[in-house]
C-alpha cells in the first residue's frame, strides 16, 4: 500500500440545524484515483470545500503529508498542492485559452506586469504536458464543455499539485470526451498525483477508481477497493435500499390507437422527415449522439423551434405547435435537459416553481392567484414523487439535483398533459432519484391516457424504460427496435455505427 497523502478524520459540519457531515472519514493514498460517491445532498461537496479551505469544519482534523491541520484556508490548501476543479470549472469565458491557464499562475507568483510571451509559453507547456492540443488564442466561451474541463486540469498542474479534486467532471460529457478525460487522469496518476473523483455514476467508479468511499446522509457508509464490490452492492451502499430495474414491456399497450403522431416533420439544419406514433400504454424512446438532432426535435415538438414542414397530430387531430404557448394550450409538457437554465426559476421558491406552469388555472375571476389551491396541488406532487424538502417556501436551490428535477416533472404533470416530452430527464440526477423518476413514468404509461416520449443519450435509461426505441443520426431516424431485442452493447453499436 502506498503512503497516505490525505486523511480526513471524524469531520463534522453543521449549517444551522442541518448536520451536513457527521464524523465522516476519507483516506487518499499517493498516486491513487479515489472516487467519493453518494446521492445528491449526501455531503460530498461539503467535504470538498473543507479540504480546499472554503469551509472550516466544526469538528475533526485533516492530515496532509502526515501533518495535522484542524482546518485549512484556501491559500494554504493551494500551497500544499490541493487543487479543486468544480462543476462550473471557474473559467473566464471571455478570455482566451492561454489567459485562462496562465493568468492565475502569474498572479500566484506575484508578477506585476504581464509578459504575454511567457503566458503563451506556460499555457502551451501545460497543455502539452497532458497531451492536449487546443488553440491558445481561442476564446474559452466558444469551446465544448470537455475542452473547458481539460483547460481546468492544465491550469491545476501548474501549482505542483499533489491532489486534484474533480467534482462531477463527466456530468455533461459524451462517451468519447469521457474516454479522453480518463486518459488524462491516468497519466496524472502515473506522475504520482492523487485524484479525488467525485461522482454518482457507478459505471465510472468501476472504470476509473482504485478505491471508493460512499457517503449517505452526511455519514461514511463504506470505503474499499472498487474491484471488490458488485453493482448491486454499490447501489445499496449509496441508497440504503435494493433497486431492481427490469425491461419495461408495455404489455397492456393499445397499438390500434394513436395518442401522438408526427409525419414527415422537418427543421432546417436540424432534422428531416421524422415519423413516429405513440400509443396508449407505452413509452417511446429516441436516442442518438450529441449533434444527432435529438434535442432540436424535442424543442420543435414543444414549439421552441418552428418546424419548416411536416404534420403533428394529437389523438388523430392535426395541430399546430409554433410556440411554447401553443404547446401549453394543447396540453404538451416538456421536461428539458438543463433544469437550471431551462426548467427552473432559480431565484424563486419551490412553491412558485411548482405552480408556474399551471398559473392560468389558478387565476380567480378578480385576476388574483389562488395560492391555497396551488399549495395543495404542490403537496400532492411532493408526496407522489417523493420530493425531499424542508418547506415549500424555501428557495429551489436548497434542493438536491434529483429533487429539483422532480419539481420540474411535477409542475408539468400538474398541467395534466396529453403529451409529455422528456429530454434527458435524469441528467445529473443520483441513482435513487433516477429510479424514482423512471418508476413514476412507468406508472403514467400504464394509465394509458398520456403519450410519453423519452429522449436521452443514457443507454441504460432508454433500454430499460422504453418499449420501442428510435435511433437518430444526422437528423434522420435510422432504425426502430424493441428494447427486449437489445442490450447495452448492441444499442451503443447502433448509435455509433458509421459515425466517425
Task: Collapse the DSSP code of 63 into the 3-class scheme (helix H, G, I; strand E, B; otherwise coil) and give the result.
Answer: strand
Assign domain 260-496 to its CATH superfamily.
P-loop containing nucleotide triphosphate hydrolases (3.40.50.300)
Start-end of CATH 3.40.50.300 domains in the chain: 4-239, 260-496
Here the cell at position 201 is 455514476
pTM: 0.71
Mean pLDDT is lowest, of 30-39, 253-262, 401-410, 450-459, for 401-410
Q: Which residue has the cell 453543521?
A: 14
Cα Rg of the chain (Å, integer):
24
Here the cell at position 309 is 414542414
Whether the CB-CB separation of 267 and 300 falls below 8 Å is answered with: yes
Q: Averaging pLDDT over each range in 10-19, 167-176, 445-454, which range is the top one?
A: 445-454
The model's confidence at residue 428, banded by pLDDT at 50, 70 and 90, is: confident
What value does the mean pLDDT of the chain take?
Answer: 88
Q: Which of the pair, 82 or 361, is modelled with greater confidence?
A: 82
- pLDDT for 88: 67
Q: How many residues does the chain have?
A: 500
Q: Which residue has the cell 420530493?
A: 387
Question: Residue 498: is its pLDDT beyond 80?
Answer: no
Q: Is the dihedral of CA 165, 171, 173, 174 positive or negative?
A: positive
The C-alpha angle 330, 333, 338, rounded to 5 degrees, equals 145
Q: Which of the pair, 283 or 237, is modelled with greater confidence?
A: 283
Q: How many CB atoms lie under 10 A from the CB of residue 452?
A: 24
The model's confidence at residue 340, banded by pLDDT at 50, 70 and 90, is: low
Whether the CB-CB separation of 194 and 5 falls below 8 Å is answered with: yes
| CATH assignment of 4-239, among 3.40.50.300, 3.30.70.240, 2.60.120.10, 3.40.630.30 | 3.40.50.300
The DSSP output letter for 341 is I
- pLDDT for 136: 93
What percent of the chain is predicted at pLDDT more than 90?
Answer: 50
Amino acid at each position: 500500500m502506498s503512503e497516505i497523502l490525505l486523511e480526513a478524520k471524524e469531520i463534522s459540519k453543521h449549517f444551522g440545524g442541518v448536520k451536513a457531515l457527521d464524523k465522516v472519514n476519507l483516506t487518499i493514498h499517493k498516486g491513487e484515483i479515489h472516487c467519493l460517491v453518494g446521492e445528491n445532498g449526501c455531503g460530498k461537496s461539503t467535504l470538498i470545500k473543507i479540504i480546499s479551505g472554503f469551509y472550516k469544519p466544526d469538528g475533526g482534523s485533516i492530515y496532509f503529508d502526515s501533518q495535522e491541520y484542524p482546518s485549512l484556508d484556501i491559500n494554504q490548501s493551494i500551497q500544499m498542492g490541493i487543487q479543486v476543479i468544480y462543476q462550473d470549472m471557474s473559467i473566464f469565458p471571455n478570455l482566451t485559452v492561454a489567459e485562462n491557464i496562465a493568468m492565475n499562475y502569474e498572479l500566484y507568483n506575484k508578477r506585476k506586469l504581464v509578459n504575454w510571451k511567457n503566458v503563451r509559453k506556460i499555457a502551451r507547456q501545460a497543455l502539452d504536458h497532458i497531451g492536449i492540443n487546443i488553440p491558445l488564442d481561442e476564446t474559452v466561451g466558444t469551446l465544448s464543455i470537455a475542452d473547458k474541463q481539460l483547460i481546468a486540469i492544465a491550469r491545476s498542474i501548474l501549482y505542483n499539485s499533489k491532489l486534484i479534486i474533480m467534482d462531477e467532471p463527466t456530468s455533461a460529457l459524451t462517451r468519447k470526451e469521457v474516454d479522453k478525460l480518463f486518459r488524462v487522469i491516468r497519466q496524472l496518476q502515473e506522475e504520482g498525483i492523487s485524484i479525488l473523483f467525485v461522482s454518482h455514476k457507478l459505471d465510472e467508479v468501476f472504470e476509473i477508481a482504485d478505491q471508493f468511499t460512499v457517503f449517505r446522509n452526511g455519514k461514511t457508509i463504506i470505503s474499499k477497493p472498487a474491484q471488490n464490490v458488485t453493482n448491486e452492492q454499490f447501489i445499496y451502499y449509496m441508497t440504503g435500499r435494493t433497486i431492481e430495474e427490469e425491461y419495461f414491456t408495455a404489455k397492456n399497450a393499445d397499438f390500434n390507437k394513436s395518442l401522438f403522431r408526427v409525419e414527415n416533420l422537418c427543421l432546417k439544419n436540424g432534422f428531416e422527415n421524422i415519423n413516429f406514433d405513440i400509443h396508449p400504454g407505452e413509452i417511446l424512446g429516441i436516442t442518438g449522439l450529441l449533434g444527432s438532432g435529438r434535442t432540436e426535435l424535442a424543442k420543435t415538438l414543444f414549439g421552441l423551434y418552428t418546424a419548416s414542414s411536416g404534420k403533428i397530430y394529437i389523438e388523430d387531430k392535426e395541430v399546430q405547435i409554433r410556440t411554447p404557448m401553443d404547446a401549453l394550450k394543447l396540453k404538451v409538457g416538456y421536461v428539458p435537459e438543463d433544469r437550471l437554465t431551462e426548467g427552473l426559476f432559480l431565484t424563486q421558491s419551490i412553491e412558485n416553481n411548482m405552480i408556474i406552469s399551471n398559473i392560468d388555472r389558478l387565476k380567480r375571476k378578480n385576476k388574483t392567484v389562488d395560492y391555497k389551491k396551488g399549495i395543495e396541488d404542490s403537496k400532492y406532487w411532493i408526496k407522489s414523487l417523493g420530493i425531499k424538502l424542508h418547506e415549500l417556501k424555501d428557495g429551489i436551490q436548497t434542493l438536491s439535483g434529483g429533487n429539483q428535477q422532480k419539481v420540474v416533472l411535477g409542475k408539468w404533470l400538474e398541467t395534466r398533459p396529453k403529451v409529455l416530452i422528456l429530454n434527458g430527464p435524469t441528467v445529473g440526477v443520483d441513482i435513487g432519484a433516477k429510479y424514482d423518476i423512471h418508476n413514476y413514468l412507468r406508472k403514467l404509461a400504464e394509465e394509458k391516457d398520456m403519450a410519453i416520449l423519452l429522449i436521452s443519450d443514457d443507454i441504460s435509461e432508454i433500454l430499460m424504460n422504453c418499449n420501442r426505441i428510435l435511433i437518430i443520426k444526422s437528423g434522420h431516424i435510422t432504425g426502430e427496435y424493441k428494447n427486449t431485442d437489445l442490450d447495452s452493447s448492441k444499442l451503443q453499436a447502433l448509435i455509433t455505427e458509421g459515425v466517425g
